Amino acid sequence: MNHIKNASDAASRVNMLTRVIGRLKPVILGTAGTMFLASCATNAPQDTWQPKGPNAQKIDSLQKPVFAVAGIIGLIVAAAVTYSIIKFRDRGQPIPKQSHGNPALEITLTIIPALILAVVGVFTFRTVFDLNKTSDTQMIINVTGQQWWWEYDYPANNEYGITQPIITSGQLVIPVGTKVMLRETSRDVIHSYWIPALNGKRDAVPGRITINRIEADEPGIYAGQCTEFCGLSHANMRMEAVALSKEDFAKWVANQLKPYAAPAEGTLAKEGETVFLNQCTRCHQVNGLTRADGTPVIAAPDENVWSGAVPNLSHLMSRNTFAGAMFDLLTPECRNDVWKSDSASFGAKYLAGVSEPCLNQTDLRGWLRNAPAKKPMYANPAQLAATGGKYRGMPNLGLSESDIEKLVAYLLTLK
């Protein structure tokens, strides 16, 4: 995991610094006025004050007034203290009367905040129960956290054309305007599922099923991040929720259910399939993949990985991210194109998946070359005594450059 410091690294640091300083400019120039303007500008993708669905909206309309009240009370206290400091400083006045207080005033000043809090309490109570309502759920997705990625599986649901279970990871795809229930759990430690624009967080606790609900108003990508500390790569356990219009969602489902298409004989991708069969299927499942003799390949992650599962790579290129959404499968330009598109054109752009010119070759190849160098994981045999030699994360497979070339070509066919 040690990063070799070379010239380009240093250069990128300098670069980073200039960019950060560049960002300071609006601040240095800015005044209070910019604060108001800025609230409309592009905030961080995980801004908790920009709800994009009814659940998050309910939280937002509850918390904004609370913030306002808290702010006002804070100002009153600050003003009272400031006034006292100025007014009652020692100007040689006589020692004041030794009064021990004023019970009536005390009681009043106790009751007022109590009343304010009682009002807040009533609204809180209502919202808590409102957010926990599950009877009108329209769609169920099982969400499973694991160090350090999320797995999503869609149980069969004829209403949405899901004739057999779909399993995916990295990006959670949901139809807009649909009340989706997430049944969360974890395979190892506690994680927490959080897409701020859609709802508050809910822990994924191993051995328990916790329920969370999300619903998106508009098509788009909503960023999120694991928020319960889950070990080494906690910082790299991200998620993205993709909302598609109902029609686009149906197309997405149809694509996920599409049977496996083996690459044509003689192509680089076909050679990549062989490499994949030899190297990757020990853990990674691709549904429908068969060996040369026609037997279906069932991966055995439980024999190699401590938590017993790894991402299922069927239709990998229909997703935009890999390695627990830490890296994009798209180049920065193509990614921007998808993220910044308006809600009308978003669906088509997302469903186009990852094509060769848009593929983020750097990170994908780097990952195949030496995954633990790109993301801290327990893949060094010396660290695996506690797990009986089983990995926690993807090890360095020691692939040759030509193998990587072939694998990339093969992975590109997994649309």
Partner 1 sequence: MANIENFATPSSAMGALKRPVVTKGWREWVFTVDHKKLGIMYMATAMFFFVVGGLEAVLIRLQLALPNGKILNADLYNQMFTMHATTMVFLFVMPMAAGFANYFIPLQIGARDVAFPRINAFGFWALLFGGLFINLSWFLGGAADGGWFMYAPNSGPIFSPSHGVDFWALGLQIAGIASLTGAINLIVTILNMRAPGMKLMRMPIFTWMILVVQFLLAFAVPVITVALFLLSFQRNFGATFFDVAAGADPLLWQHLFWIFGHPEVYILILPSFGIISEVLPVFSRKPLFGYPFVVFSGAAIGFVGWGVWAHHMFASGLGPVSVAVFSISTMAIAVPTGVKIVNWTLTLWGGKLWFTTAMKFAIGLIVLFTIGGLSGVTHSVAPSDTQQTDTYYIVAHFHYVLFGGAVLGLFSGFYYWWPKMFGKMLNEKLGTWNFWFMVIGMNLTFGPMHILGLQGQPRRMYQWTENRAGEGFFNLAFWNLIASIGSLVLVVGVFLFLVNIFITARSGKVAPLDPWGARSLEWMTSNPPKEHNFDSIPTVHHLDEFFHRKYAEDANGQMQQIATAEEVLKQLEDNADAHIHMPSPSYWPIVIAFGLPVTCLGVIYSIPLAIFGGLIILMGAFGWALEPSTAPDTDFDPPSSSNTSKDVVHVG
Partner 2 sequence: MFTPGSKYLIAITGLSAVSFALYMLLVHPSAIGAVALIGLLAATSLLTGITLFTRDGHASEGQTSAAALDTPTPSMWPLVGAAGFALLLVGTITTPIVFIFGIVAMLAALVEWTVQAWSERSSADVAYNAQIRQRILNPIEYPILAAVGIAVIIFSFSRVMLAINKDAGAIIFIAAAAAISLVGVLISVRPQLKKSIVGTIAVVAALGLVGAGIAGMGVGMREELVVAAQEDHYAHKECGAEKSEHFDKGVSETISATSGADATIELIDGKLTAHAQGIEGLQDSITVRRSNPINIIFRNKDAGEFRLSAYLGKTKVADGVSEDLITCTQLLPQGAEQWLTFTIAKPSVSGEPYTLSIPGLAGQSVEVVVP
Should residue 258 be labelled a site residue for partner 2 when binding is judged by CB under 8 A?
A: no
- Provide the pairing of β-strand 210-214 with 220-225: unpaired
Should residue 29 be labelled a site residue for partner 1 when binding is judged by CB under 8 A?
A: no
Should residue 161 be labelled a site residue for partner 2 when binding is judged by CB under 8 A?
A: no
Per CB under 8 A, which of residues 273..332 are in contact with partner 1?
306, 328
Should residue 17 be labelled a site residue for partner 1 when binding is judged by CB under 8 A?
A: yes
SS3 label, residue 142: strand
CA distance 204 to 150: 10
Should residue 333 be labelled a site residue for partner 1 when binding is judged by CB under 8 A?
A: no
Should residue 301 be labelled a site residue for partner 2 when binding is judged by CB under 8 A?
A: yes
Of residues 57, 124, 185, 396, which one binds partner 2 by CB under 8 A?
Answer: 185
Residues 6+ apart with CB under 8 A from 256: 166, 168, 314, 315, 318
> CB–CB of 269/409 below 8 Å?
yes
Residues 6+ apart with CB under 8 A from 51: 57, 59, 60, 197, 198
Closest separation in Å from C-beta 163 to partner 1: 31
Which structure tokens are listed for 356?
Answer: 């060769």
Query: Closer to partner 1 at the Cβ: 41 or 298?
Result: 41
Of residues 307, 320, 321, 413, which one binds partner 2 by CB under 8 A?
Answer: 307
- Which residue stretch of 26-34, 263-271, 275-283, 285-293 sits at the interface with partner 1 (rule: CB under 8 A)? 26-34
| Edge-to-edge strand ranges of the sheet holding 149-154 | 166-169, 149-154, 139-146, 180-186, 210-214
Closest Cα partner for 195 from 52, 68, 75? Answer: 52
Of residues 6, 7, 8, 97, which one binds partner 1 by CB under 8 A?
Answer: 97
Closest separation in Å from C-beta 394 to partner 2: 16
Query: Closer to partner 1 at the Cβ: 233 or 281?
Result: 233
> Over the Cα atoms of the chain, what is R_g?
27
Which residues make up the interface to partner 2 (CB under 8 A)? 134-135, 137, 140, 142, 144, 151, 153, 155-156, 165-167, 181, 183, 185, 187, 206-209, 211, 285, 296, 298, 300-302, 307-309
